[in-house]
Amino acid sequence: MYLCICRAIRERDVDAAVRAGARKPADVFRACGKRPQCGTCACDMRERIGQTVREEASQPSLMAAD
Ligand code: FES
């Protein structure tokens, strides 16, 4: 599912950026090599980042495997 329509950033793109260290929407855009346009996605992106960070924290063995 797309979180950012303007720049075609999907949930899985956000998840990958979080695993690479992104902790805010600007980090995700940077990781994807894109720049924000309208900013409408920022709230949903923050929510997804938080969710992914919590999931990663609850599964430390999976993080070590990456
Ligand atoms: S929806 Fe992400 S910048 Fe517009």
Predicted local confidence at residue 64, as pLDDT: 54
Which of 1, 5, 14 is the best mutation target for the ligand 1 pocket, counting ligand atoms within 8 Å of the beta carbon and taking the most?
Answer: 5
- Which residues sit opposite 10 in a β-bridge? 2
- For residue range 7-45, list pLDDT tens digits in order: 999 999 999 999 999 999 999 999 999 999 999 999 999
Rounded CA separation 40/65 (Å): 34
Please indicate whether residue 7, judged by its CB atom, sits closer than 6 Å to ligand 1: yes
Q: Which domains does the chain have, with CATH numbers?
A: 2-65 (1.10.10)
Predicted local confidence at residue 30, as pLDDT: 98
Pairing of strands 2-4, 9-10: antiparallel
Please indicate whether residue 16, judged by its CB atom, sits closer than 6 Å to ligand 1: no
Higher pLDDT, 9 or 64: 9
b/e per residue, 33-53, with b = 16+ CB within 10 A?
Answer: eeebeeeebbebbeebbeebe
